[in-house]
Amino acid sequence: MSDTALCAAARAECLPATRRPRLGFAGVGWIGLNRLQAVAADGAADIVCITDLSVDAAREAARAVADRAPYTFVSDSFEDLLAEDLDGVVIATPSGLHAQQAMAALGRGLAVFCQKPLGRTAHEVAQTIEMAQARDRLLAVDFCYRTVAGVTQLVELAHSGALGEIFAADLVFHNAYGPDKPWFYDLRQSGGGCVMDLGIHLVDLLLLVLDYPCVAAVSSSLHAAGKRLARPAAGSPAAGLEDHAFAEVRFANGATARIACSWRLSAGRDAIIEAAFYGTRGAAVLRNVGGSFYDFTVEHCKGTARQTLASGPDDWGGRAVRSWARQLAMNAAFDSSATCLYDVATLIDAIYER
Ligand SMILES: NC(=O)c1ccc[n+]([C@@H]2O[C@H](COP(=O)([O-])OP(=O)(O)OC[C@H]3O[C@@H](n4cnc5c(N)ncnc54)[C@H](O)[C@@H]3O)[C@@H](O)[C@H]2O)c1
């Protein structure tokens, strides 16, 4: 057994076997496989079932975790997964399926950990949260940038008042590449372009750090291939898929935020990812290092001085799913923090002007 597997086994032994949740995984493409492996390495849950439209992908994923989960049931049908004796489901299918699959799982009394976005619209998100509340089941979304080292301290700085009144925020997520899977470019399956894909992480961080203030006004400009997209007619889907978005948000407390995100921008590096929060007594900034998608620094700034709160390599990708699985092991009940998912979805709707 490898060192990693030994550590995982030792950690798993700390949890009573009867409390270890039985999990099913729906969708084991790029991110689903990554999160499956994170759960397997952690050992806090039993991997019971893997389903993917491509049964070959499901089989391959089962092989990848066979040392930790040798008897995993594999299927190409989400219904088969729901028929298993499970405590929770991890959903990483194309975005357009999330709300429908999450509601089906919650409706059967299963807890859900879903990739972002939870739904394509605030309406879908509200329906899913209502189902989780009605069935009293844990619901969480993989807003994984919250778990980057230093972000917890950044949030504490903001919430403790150490930054003073936060009056401005600047958030960007520019990706020099675009998604490489066709479903991302089908509005029905993706729910949107770069705002739904990348901007949603910024909106989540913004509202988390500012502690969900009332939104007073939102203005936005969405572009596709350099052309401004027209505002959709009431009740209609968007006219096209944005690959660049800029939004300004004004909060009722007077604070303002600027959000920009894009696919295939000539960024001069793989990605530019930043979330800066400016207060009357200081600032806190999350920034990617050297264009990396994975390495970040978090700094606390005052005037020209800055203190590094975290930096360097940090294996943060699987942290949110691990923490959901551990929470599920303790208590499967609805956690009211999930209601914040609606605030994120509402602001996304406002950016899309719908
Ligand atoms: N949290 C993050 O930072 C993050 C990062 C990447 C992707 N995501 C989200 O994760 C989701 C998946 O993205 P991806 O890049 O892994 O996509 P992907 O295309 O690589 O994976 C999706 C998988 O779902 C499978 N699938 C399709 N329909 C299915 C169904 N009905 N039942 C079961 N499986 C089905 C596909 O065969 C595929 O293997 C998206 O919603 C995306 O927005 C989140």
Average pLDDT of span 227-255: 88
> What atom in ligand 1 is closest to the CA of residue 31?
16
pLDDT for position 263:
98
Return the residue whose CA atom lies nearest to atom 11 of ligand 1. 92
Distance 261 CA to ligand 1 centre (A): 20
Distance 307 CA to ligand 1 centre (A): 37
Distance 26 CA to ligand 1 centre (A): 9
pLDDT for position 339:
98
Whole-number Å distance between alpha carbons of 323 and 28: 19
- Where residue 203 falls among pLDDT bands split at 50, 70, 90? very high
pLDDT in tens, 229-241: 988 777 666 668 9
CB-defined site of ligand 1, < 6 Å = 26-32, 51-54, 57, 78, 92-95, 97, 115-116, 142, 144, 181, 197
Q: Is 5's pLDDT higher than 80?
A: no
Q: Is 13's pLDDT higher than 90?
A: no
Q: Is 8's pLDDT higher than 80?
A: no
This prediction has a pTM of 0.94
Distance 253 CA to ligand 1 centre (A): 37
> Could you tell me if 89 and 75 are in contact, meaning their C-beta atoms sit under 8 angstroms apart?
no
Domain map (residue ranges) of the chain:
3-143+318-334, 149-314
Which of 109, 95, 120, 110 is closest to 32 using CA atoms?
95
Q: Is 354's pLDDT higher than 90?
A: no
> What atom in ligand 1 is closest to the CA of residue 95?
41
Average pLDDT of span 147-173: 98
Average pLDDT score, the chain: 94
Return the residue whose CA atom lies nearest to atom 20 of ligand 1. 29
> What atom in ligand 1 is closest to the CA of residue 93?
24
The CATH architecture that domain 3-143+318-334 belongs to is: 3-Layer(aba) Sandwich (3.40)
Cα angle 113-324-3, degrees, rounded to a multiple of 5: 115
Distance 117 CA to ligand 1 centre (A): 11
Q: Is 154's pLDDT higher than 90?
A: yes
pLDDT for position 7:
42
pLDDT for position 191:
96
- Helix 200-210 with 340-351: angle, nearest 10 deg: 130
Distance 93 CA to ligand 1 centre (A): 4
Q: What is the CATH number of domain 149-314?
A: 3.30.360.10
Percent of the chain with pLDDT over 90: 90
> What atom in ligand 1 is closest to the CA of residue 197?
43
Q: Is 16's pLDDT higher than 60?
A: no
pLDDT in tens, 312-335: 899 999 999 999 999 999 999 999
Q: Is 4's pLDDT higher than 60?
A: no
Percent of the chain with pLDDT over 70: 93
Q: Is 49's pLDDT higher than 80?
A: yes
Return the residue whose CA atom lies nearest to atom 19 of ligand 1. 29
* Whether residue 117 has a cis bond before it, omega within 30° of 0: yes
> What atom in ligand 1 is closest to the CA of residue 57?
39
Distance 259 CA to ligand 1 centre (A): 25
Distance 94 CA to ligand 1 centre (A): 4
